[in-house]
Structure 1
Amino acid sequence: MSRTRSAQPDPRATLRSGLPDRYLTPDDIAEIFDVPLETVYQWRKKRTGPPGFRIGKHVRYDPADVQTYVTQQKGVGLAAA
């Protein structure tokens, strides 16, 4: 009998195929963009990354807002080219 572990999908892969149907944590954002967690906190402080919001003391990110942010960043790169 083989045991199958239910591994969570790679968040970077989900960004390409569609984000999870749940609010994302700063750790998720760091993994999706392959940046250090401190970078995510700096983006929030400088208001340069995907918009987040607070639920109590916790920061969360709406997957739709993250997708919009990525789309905008792609547009900025194209405009500069």
Structure 2
Amino acid sequence: MGALRDQALSLTATLAGLDRAIETAGEKLVGFEGLTSIKGIGARSAAVLLSGKLKSIKIGTRRLITIDALKDWLQQNEQDPTA
């Protein structure tokens, strides 16, 4: 049980580090502050949207992401869990 707990804690620490790295990289993108000032859009979401790798459409003042675009993005960014 201790080994599983240690792995979970290690994974949590790794994810926290990745979150910080994404936020740091996102802060350099034009429009980051504007996006993160919108309620419900955090640093990770803003960084992904501004990276241009997640297709979105703009309707009026709203920026929407289609389910197909999200599925494609997730598939492209999937990693082998055994790696």
Normalised-by-shorter TM-score class: 0.3 to 0.5
Give the structure with the larger helix fraction.
2
TM-score under structure 2 length normalisation: 0.40
Larger RCO (CA under 8 A, 6+ residues apart): 1
Structure (1 or 2) with the larger CA radius of gyration? 2
TM-score under structure 1 length normalisation: 0.41
